[in-house]
């Protein structure tokens, strides 16, 4: 893979494909390629296609043909790989077309990555799960760090990280994101909950009551505050023990500290300046 720095990919697919005269950019100007010779794009972000919309597009193609060609790269003798135009290709198959007009791009794997990234970041109709899966696939397939991916797609690293975190959510919540029952804002807030039971409770409440993102964020914040308070109280000794330690400090003029272990055991630490102080303390303590 090339290590040369590339600009962020917010400039459009046509900027990478090269300058093409708009008057020339019609399906009649491109070769027809048999649909059975075209493989899917492994970086295709869209996983869910509206069947009704596809059939509508297929009907339009039957009457008007494919107005804009798909884009492919050649990967072998009579073998091509789709770069863009998945919906058009699927609709063409539904319309029983044997061939489709295609712009054939000479692209290696690194260029395909760049083209795929452009497709990913410019699509407005992708749901959050599809975007997250795209980022994850690109990280794995091309061994990129989140920082490198951030630079390549022109997205803040925190944004990418938030998308990747929702892939750790339970399947039920991911399905709700995929089918737009909840938004990315809801998902981002839910993904910050560590307790599985609390997570599902807030998720169900969100669905049942149609909670806003702000309301879900408030619920999550309250949950974390309670958890912090509970944890803090658990690590504090009882008032009775604290009173005993204060009496030791005052009566014997020593430094006394205490803490509670994760298993609930109390550890008391007494600080002495020398052996004589230790001996005097225990003599007096036993006499008491």
| 158/129 Cα distance (integer angstroms) | 16
| 112/106 Cα distance (integer angstroms) | 9
Confidence of residue 215 (pLDDT cuts 50, 70, 90): very high
Q: Residue 115, exposed/middle/buried by CB under 10 A (0-12, 13-18, 19+)?
A: buried
The mean-pLDDT minimum among 178-182, 235-239, 266-270 falls in 235-239
Query: Where do the DSSP E strands lie in the chain?
Result: 32-34, 38-39, 70-76, 79-84, 99-105, 255-260, 266-271
- Whats the size of the chain, residue-wise? 288
DSSP conformation letters of 197-220: HHHHHHHHHHHHHT--HHHHHHHH
Other beta carbons within 10 angstroms of residue 19's beta carbon come to 6
Other beta carbons within 10 angstroms of residue 129's beta carbon come to 24
In contact, 72 and 101? CB cutoff 8 Å: no
Express each pLDDT in 174-190 by its tens digit: 999 998 899 999 999 99
> Is 71 or 118 the better-scoring residue by pLDDT?
71
Express each pLDDT in 120-153 by its tens digit: 555 556 788 988 888 888 888 778 888 888 887 7
Other beta carbons within 10 angstroms of residue 8's beta carbon come to 13
Nearest to 37 by CA among 96, 89, 85, 87: 89
Q: What is the pLDDT of residue 143?
A: 84
Q: What is the pLDDT of residue 285?
A: 64
Express each pLDDT in 16-40 by its tens digit: 444 444 433 445 578 899 999 999 8
The mean-pLDDT minimum among 181-190, 215-224, 276-285 falls in 276-285
Express each pLDDT in 57-75 by its tens digit: 889 888 888 888 888 988 8
Q: Is the pLDDT of residue 56 over 60?
A: yes
- Catalytic residue numbers? 86
The mean-pLDDT minimum among 196-200, 232-236, 267-271 falls in 232-236
């Amino acid at each position: 893979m090339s290590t040369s720095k590339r600009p962020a990919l917010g400039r459009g697919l046509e900027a990478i494909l090269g300058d093409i005269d708009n008057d020339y950019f019609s399906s009649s100007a491109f070769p027809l390629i048999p649909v059975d010779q075209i493989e899917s794009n492994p970086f295709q972000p869209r996983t869910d296609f509206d069947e009704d919309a596809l059939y509508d597009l297929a009907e339009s193609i039957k009457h008007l043909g494919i107005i804009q060609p798909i884009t492919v790269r050649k990967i072998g003798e009579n073998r091509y790989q789709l770069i863009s135009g998945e919906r058009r290709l699927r609709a063409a198959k539904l319309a029983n077309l044997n061939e489709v007009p295609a712009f054939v791009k000479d692209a290696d794997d690194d260029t395909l990555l760049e083209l795929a990234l452009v497709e990913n970041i410019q699509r407005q109709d992708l749901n959050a799960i599809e975007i997250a899966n795209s980022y994850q696939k690109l990280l794995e397939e091309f061994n990129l760090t989140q920082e490198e991916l951030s630079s390549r797609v022109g997205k803040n690293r925190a944004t990418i990280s938030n998308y990747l975190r929702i892939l750790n959510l339970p399947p039920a919540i991911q399905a709700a994101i995929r089918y737009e029952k909840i938004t990315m804002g809801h998902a981002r807030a839910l993904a910050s909950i560590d307790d599985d039971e609390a997570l599902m409770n807030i998720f169900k409440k969100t669905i049942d009551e149609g909670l806003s993102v702000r309301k879900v964020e408030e619920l999550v914040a309250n949950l974390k505050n309670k958890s912090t308070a509970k944890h803090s109280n658990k690590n504090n000794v009882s008032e009775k023990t604290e009173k005993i330690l204060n009496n030791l400090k005052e009566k014997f003029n020593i430094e006394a500290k205490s803490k509670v272990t994760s298993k609930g055991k109390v550890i008391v630490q007494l600080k002495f300046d020398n052996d004589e102080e230790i001996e005097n303390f225990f003599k007096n303590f036993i006499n008491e």
